[in-house]
């Protein structure tokens, strides 16, 4: 029996970068949270502390800031590709790089004034490895609600089942979605905007008998609208809204007064994929 090192990686997580683009009086703003994880020939440091192959995580952080100055910061997918390729190409012992970016949007209030948009976070993850390069875009925290057009019934009942059948309920979720691009170049901004719109219209346009059905419709909507996207993965928390019993006050409640539940919540997860999509080069999930 031998004890050996299993899969491992290391990097600098959550480097917060704000880049101001000064074009005369009118400034632009990019606000990112960048995480880098490298893998490769790293046995020595784990076995003996020989760091001859360990590019410091501090250097990774510095690279993020230096690249922001030297190359600017375009779309998050573009910046992640630039960084991931840099680490793999410049360090022979590094065979894999994963660069994950969260991008926070700011709305313009004036030439150099901005208001942070709080409705969702855009994400981009680039994986460079011997198997290939993969770009995954996504969105987290996109909260959507239908105040009707949702039912849930016909489910199995056992002795622990108390849930009433619902023929008219609120359906609400905070969308966590990632989508894998078939290629390595796209109009990333248009692709993200289109995918976001497709997720929303899939949610809005589906008369739902389960959040699972809505998940499938949202993924299908993205793949129908965006041919550059090969696969969509979704994690949809079911943000339950419970009808308040107003009968103690001699009041009726015709689906008008709800308690917004916090936890526990149902969590519906799934992948929607083109059957002819190219295979993923790296394992990915949320």
Minimum distance of ligand URC from residue 224's CB (angstroms): 22
Interface positions, 256-285, toward ligand URC (CB under 6 A)? 266
Q: Rounded CA gap, 208 and 130, in Å?
A: 43
Which of 37, 136, 238, 241 forms a contact with ligand URC (CB under 6 A)?
A: 238
Is position 27 annotated as part of the catalytic site?
A: no
Q: Rounded CA gap, 220 and 222, in Å?
A: 5
- Number of residues that make up the chain: 286
Minimum distance of ligand URC from residue 255's CB (angstroms): 16
# binding residues, ligand URC (CB under 6 A) = 7
Q: Rounded CA gap, 277 and 285, in Å?
A: 17
Which of 55, 82, 84, 211 forms a contact with ligand URC (CB under 6 A)?
A: 211
* Residues 164-203 as x/- pattern, contact with ligand URC by CB under 6 A: ----------------------------------------
Q: Rounded CA gap, 264 and 238, in Å?
A: 9
Q: Cβ–Cβ contacts within 10 Å for residue 266, how many?
A: 14
Q: Rounded CA gap, 19 and 140, in Å?
A: 22
User: Alpha helices of the chain — where are they, by DSSP H?
Assistant: 43-48, 57-70, 76-90, 188-204, 211-225
Active-site residue (options: 45, 57, 281, 282): 57
Report the alpha-carbon angle 201-123-108, nearest 5.
80
Answer yes or no whether residue 210 interacts with ligand URC by CB under 6 A.
Answer: yes
Which of 10, 120, 152, 203 forms a contact with ligand URC (CB under 6 A)?
A: 152
Nearer residue to ligand URC within complex by CB, 115 or 271: 271
Minimum distance of ligand URC from residue 203's CB (angstroms): 13
Active-site residue (options: 98, 181, 240, 241): 240
Closest alpha carbon to 222 in 189, 237, 206, 200: 200
Nearer residue to ligand URC within complex by CB, 270 or 278: 270
Minimum distance of ligand URC from residue 210's CB (angstroms): 4
Is position 95 annotated as part of the catalytic site?
A: no
Which of 23, 163, 275, 279 forms a contact with ligand URC (CB under 6 A)?
A: 163
Nearer residue to ligand URC within complex by CB, 123 or 210: 210
User: Alpha helices of 116-249 — where are they, by DSSP H?
Assistant: 188-204, 211-225
Report the alpha-carbon angle 248-251-255, nearest 5.
110
Chain residues in the site for ligand URC (CB under 6 A) = 152, 163, 210-212, 238, 266
Which sequence positions are flagged as catalytic? 12, 57, 240
């Amino acid at each position: 029996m031998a004890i050996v090192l299993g899969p491992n990686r290391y990097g600098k997580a959550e480097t917060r970068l704000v880049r101001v683009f000064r074009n005369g009086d009118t400034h632009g703003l990019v606000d990112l949270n960048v995480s880098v994880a490298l893998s490769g020939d790293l046995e020595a440091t784990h076995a003996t502390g020989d760091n001859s192959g360990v590019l410091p995580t501090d250097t990774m952080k510095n690279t993020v800031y230096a690249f922001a100055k030297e190359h600017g910061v375009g779309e998050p997918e573009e910046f992640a590709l630039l960084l991931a390729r840099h680490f793999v190409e410049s360090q022979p012992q590094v065979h894999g790089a994963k660069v994950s970016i969260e991008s926070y949007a700011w709305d313009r209030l004036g030439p150099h004034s901005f208001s942070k948009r709080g409705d969702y976070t855009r994400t981009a993850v680039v994986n460079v490895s011997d198997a290939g390069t993969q770009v995954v875009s996504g969105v987290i925290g996109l909260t959507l609600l239908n105040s009707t057009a949702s039912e849930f019934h016909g489910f199995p009942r056992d002795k622990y089942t108390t849930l009433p059948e619902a023929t008219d309920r609120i359906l609400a979720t905070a969308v966590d979605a990632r989508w894998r691009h078939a290629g390595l170049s796209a109009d990333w901004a248009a692709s993200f905007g289109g995918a976001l719109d497709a997720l929303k219209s899939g949610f809005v346009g589906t008369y739902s008998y389960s959040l699972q059905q809505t998940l499938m419709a949202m993924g299908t909507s993205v793949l129908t609208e965006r041919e550059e996207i090969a696969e969509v993965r979704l994690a949809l928390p079911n943000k339950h809204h419970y009808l308040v019993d107003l009968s103690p006050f001699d009041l009726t409640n015709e689906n008008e007064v709800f308690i917004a539940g916090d936890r526990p919540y149902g969590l519906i997860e799934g992948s929607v994929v083109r059957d002819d999509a190219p295979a993923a080069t790296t394992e990915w999930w949320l």
